[in-house]
Amino acid sequence: MAWTVEDLRDLAELLRAHPEWREPLWALLASEEVRRMPERMERSFQRAARLILALYRAQRQHYKEFIAHRAETDRRFAELAEAIRNLSESFAIHRAETDRRFAELAEAQRRHYEEFVTHRAETDRRFAELAEAVRRLSESFAAHRQEFLEYRAETDRRFAELAEAQRRTEESLAAHRAETDRRFAELAEAQRRHYEEFVAHRAETDRRFAELSAEVRALAEAQRRTEEILQQVLLRQEQFQRTLDHFGQIIGPITEEHMVQALQEWIAQQGGTLLTPVVSITLDGLGEVDGLARARLPDGREAWLLVSAKAKVWARSITEFVERILRHPEARERLQAQGVGDPVLPVVFGRALDHRALEAAQRARVGLLIGRQGMLVPPALWSLSEGKPLG
């Protein structure tokens, strides 16, 4: 009698009811090569996993070293950003190439894994078919021994075919493993060259940093010497300023004394009269009027004399007197607060004269009184409230 699908189902039910029969039946049906196939596949997977893990750990260690060194390099070469940028671009190109190679390796691994998954699914499907057949065979084994033997022969043939397919699969896996090992070797060699380039770059970086440190130390030494020279200059400047202050304390009163005498002589020559003593007045940080007096002019009008006294009169002496006193709003307000009103006669007094001061006094319409030479440029009447000459 021929075996039917129902017979195989009955055999499968017997195996489910008696699990202890499965191992003897499997030993009877399956060859030694087929039984050891999962163990060999597991060893192959473990070996590949160990290789990938070793490569990953080495790459991660190298990447950590690179990250630490790049941080140190960025800190040291903050002033050399352009050179670092160029180096970073070169490294980015190399890293992109490395990423591309890893992507190719990952793609190859993905395709091989898909092929393996497909093969495993096919194997599982065939084992499922075999299990279903064994189950049905077991259910009808007692009544259909001869048909069972024929079916076993057919099963052996199919197992032989399966073993041949497995052999071809193992050969394919061996070839793939050899190709994978070759690619891993190439990747390791590329990683080694990259690390050697990295070590050479780090040595060059350290050398350049040492040169920069030497230059910085030389610069610091030069700066120290410059500071010492500057301290000496400041000391001499302070000594010179003290000398000037001492000289000013001597020459200032003498100049103001000559200014008062020359001013009195000029007023007398003009037929006028000084109504108040000639005094000096300070404008609270805005400057100082060296001579201030109220006078009656020859025509009977009264005016205020505003005098700036200098040892030697320069053109800038005229300009500073006009800008800082006669036209400066705050200076005019403070003079008015002291009781000085319109009109005023501005005069610059000096014991010596620069030739350019004559033209400056004429343009500014300010009096120029020089020691024994007298009034070289007569003063014009000014409006203190408006800060400009009258008429």
- For residues 151-170, give the mean pLDDT: 78
The mean pLDDT value for 181-188 works out to 78
What was the pLDDT predicted at 250?
41
**206 Ramachandran zone, left/alpha/beta (phi>0; psi -120 to 50):** alpha
**In the chain, what percentage of residues exceed pLDDT 90?**
19
Residue 114 scores a pLDDT above 80: yes
pLDDT in tens, 305-316: 999 999 899 999
Q: Give mean pLDDT, residues 21-39.
A: 69
Nearest to 12 by CA among 151, 127, 137: 137
CA 231 remoteness from chain centre: 36
Residues 347-363 have a mean pLDDT of 93
pLDDT value, residue 355:
92
Nearest partner of 341 among 367, 307, 304, judged by Cα:
304
Residue 243: band (very low, low, confident or very high) from pLDDT cuts 50, 70, 90: very low
d(CA 95, CA 107): 18
pLDDT at 366 over 60: yes
Flag whether pLDDT at 137 surpasses 70: no
* C-alpha–C-alpha distance, residues 193 and 187, integer Å: 10
When comparing pLDDT for 220 and 293, which is higher?
Answer: 293
| pLDDT of amino acid 132 | 86
Confidence of residue 34 (pLDDT cuts 50, 70, 90): low
Q: What is the pLDDT of residue 167?
A: 85
Query: In which band, very low, low, confident or very high, does the pLDDT at 380 lie, cut at 50, 70 and 90?
Result: very high
For residue 95, list its beta bridge partners: none
Mean pLDDT throughout 192-203? 81
Q: What is the pLDDT of residue 37?
A: 64
Nearest to 31 by CA among 174, 170, 158: 158
What pLDDT digit, counting tens, does each position of 62-99 carry?
788 888 888 887 888 788 778 768 877 877 887 888 78
pLDDT value of residue 244: 39
Asked if the model's pLDDT at residue 245 lies above 60, the reply is no
Nearest to 147 by CA among 1, 34, 9: 1
pLDDT band at 321 (very low <50, low <70, confident <90, very high): very high
- Beta-carbon count within 10 A of 296 CB: 15
